[in-house]
Amino acid sequence: MSTLHTVNKSPFEKTSLAACLEHVSAGAAVLLLEDGVYAALTRTSVEGQVKSALDNVKVYALGPDLQARGLLEERVIPGISVVDYAGFVDLAAEHDKVQAWL
Amino acid sequence: MKFAIQVNEGPYQHQAADSAYFFAKAALEKGHEIFRIFFYHDGVNNATRLTTPPQDDRNVVERWAELGGHYDLDMVVCVAAAQRRGVVDEGEAQRNGKDATNIHPRFRISGLGQLVEAAIQSDRLVVFGD
């Protein structure tokens, strides 16, 4: 039983990511999309939080949403995998359920 | 795999309407089945055929309709959310004494039971919203 959690809010605007990371169980996956991709960057105030989450869960960021915001993949925290929409579909299929942190 | 998709936001208002479309398209291109796409809350505005975006902008409603036509998708608009926002088909126009309809023919209006059924019948329910 594993869940794919999707977070579409910037961590600098809403607390969805923090709430999500408090609730995820080990082995789960978190996909950052839309403004959620800001959490995937290095040198931000939430970098530590995201890096420690990587010990328990897999974290992904949606590439097209990084690109749409002019964010370079070089700035993505090592350990976070960048996926496209096809990758998003694969993640949804691989996990038992998908939980959106709206 | 069988997917159900819920869209809670309108076009040109929130990225959720775009994200849901690209997810649906990618799933179908991978050979997955989409049991139903349910438009809820402001998401019902994805179904108005009267939308006229500038020519150099994406036409979110037409885009859904084309995808729906290509894959014969069941695209359902929540009736209560639609009534509040003036998304109307022939039946609703008659029932509520309205002088016009605006729903795109690729969509249909129905109740929340359709969302529950989609959640039960599908392997995954993926929600897009704010």
Q: Crossing angle for the helix pair A85-94 and B16-29, nearest 10 degrees?
A: 80
How far is A102 from chain B, CA to nearest CA, in Å? 5
Identify the pLDDT of residue B69.
Answer: 98
pTM: 0.97
| CA R_g for chain A | 12
Contact residues, chain B, for A35 at CB < 8 Å:
15
pLDDT tens digits, B83-105: 999 999 999 999 999 999 999 99
Tell me the C-alpha distance between B98 and A39, whole Å.
Answer: 47
Weakly modelled stretches of chain A, pLDDT under 70: none
Classify domain A3-101 at the CATH topology level.
Answer: Hypothetical Protein Ychn; Chain: A, (3.40.1260)
How far is B23 from chain A, CA to nearest CA, in Å? 6
How far from each other are the two terminal CA atoms of chain B, in whole angstroms? 26
At B21 the three-state DSSP class reads helix
Query: Would you give the DSSP letter of residue B31?
Result: T
Identify the pLDDT of residue A1.
Answer: 73
pLDDT above 70 as % of chain B: 100
pLDDT tens digits, A59-72: 999 999 999 999 99
Query: Cβ A93–B29 below 8 Å, yes or no?
Result: no
Identify the pLDDT of residue A93.
Answer: 98
